[in-house]
Chains A and B, each alone.
Chain A
């Protein structure tokens, strides 16, 4: 790089601003990277599931009680719609509408809780246990691990709701917590769709 170009750039206002006004916010980028890593865990589990599925001549193995799809189906619809509900929350805060944020996020939290309750209900009414066979184990580990993520997402939402009580905590300019929670929740949703197709429908 020649002298003249570097002087041009260093004396430009861009660099001065960058150096003296703190960092731009990279946290959302960090969250995306984290979710990529999370996605790979599920990818690992899903591929194991698919290998087992292709390996055994009968899948689920003979004697596995049929999976009920009605309740999980309703549950799925609730979870998927909650993503849209949640997005309204973010739209609200972008207009500086904290009450709207609290309303929509509260609703999302409720839907998430219903999903978890439905999941638990299903667990208690299934006729197979964790160690019954390969399918049963995969079923519990996949749905359980996903359920864990739903729980974490729920806690994040509650956290946002808690913070939203403080005046001016979130504003149209600064609402990283809201965005991060939403991104996470969408991620959990997408994973569920894949999981539902693999485990219940295929």
Chain B
């Protein structure tokens, strides 16, 4: 057996570590991070990429080395050395992965806790009783009946003093509908002020959908009959995609919306305009408020674009 000398091993080890460390920081695989928590997830990801890169190089390097170095000579029918194992070596390669996954678990736990994943309801409980009157009749028989299980990502424990924005999000085939519980605004896109916590209460009207914000590294299924939660605090002004990530039917791929993170003043402006528009409309159509708008009406403008015909839309049951 031809073991490379210690010096070569050492140099190879150093090079390998350097490559892994460099790649872990410079892989450029993630989209921008638009919240504090997203940055933390990226740090975790970078660590995992670093470790994976190291292991990748070790194993692939070994394989390539074996293929080049230990090829059978022509006509040689003898066997290789009868090595059946090496207990210390086996202990090492059992222990190292064990330590790695142990560290990764603890680190992931830490970050998950920072994201507010361990007790999502804690953050919701404080708010939702006063706003309850905004919640119209439960759309499905179960909503009220099922014991409330806290699901999703809640407030991060390090409190942010800015006032939160509460939005009810309703996923239906194939659109997201946002209902601002405090102002009554209903919209097909999500607008939030920067640096304010955003509390999303996710519902689904027909099948399971999943609310995904790639730039915030956040995703949570919207499950019919079970409310779920997502809380995040955007730190970066900009426009971001909102994507449905759970197969929900033929046009699942078209179920997209936008999230606009606005400066505080822009948000205020938008809020005022829309509240005004809303009340104007309410005045016009005395009995019907936007909140009672049916999915069908709501979806009409999207229908063309998504190739859904009017019939399907009118079959949707009203959600509010």
Interface residues in chain A, defined as those with a beta carbon under 8 Å from any beta carbon in chain B: 54-57, 61
Contact = CB atoms under 8 A, between A and B. Distances in A.
Interface in B223-278: none
A56 B145 CA distance: 7
Contacts of A61: 145
A57 B147 CA distance: 6
A2 to B, nearest CB: 14
A117 to B, nearest CB: 37
Contacts of B146: 55-57
10 contacts: A54-B147, A55-B146, A55-B147, A56-B145, A56-B146, A56-B147, A57-B145, A57-B146, A57-B147, A61-B145
Interface of B: 145-147
Contacts of A57: 145-147
Given A56-B147, A57-B147, A61-B145, 7 more contacts: A54-B147, A55-B146, A55-B147, A56-B145, A56-B146, A57-B145, A57-B146
B218 to A, nearest CB: 26
B55 to A, nearest CB: 36
A55 B143 CA distance: 12
Contacts of B147: 54-57
Nearest to A134: B142
Contacts of A55: 146-147
Contacts of A56: 145-147
A161 to B, nearest CB: 50
Nearest to B146: A55
A7 B145 CA distance: 73
A55 B147 CA distance: 6
A186 B125 CA distance: 51
A61 B145 CA distance: 10
B98 to A, nearest CB: 30
A54 B147 CA distance: 9
Nearest to B147: A57
Nearest to B148: A57
B64 to A, nearest CB: 35
A61 B144 CA distance: 13
Nearest to A58: B145
A56 B149 CA distance: 11
A54 B146 CA distance: 10
A121 to B, nearest CB: 32
A52 to B, nearest CB: 10
A119 to B, nearest CB: 30
A57 B146 CA distance: 7
A174 B145 CA distance: 58
Nearest to A54: B147
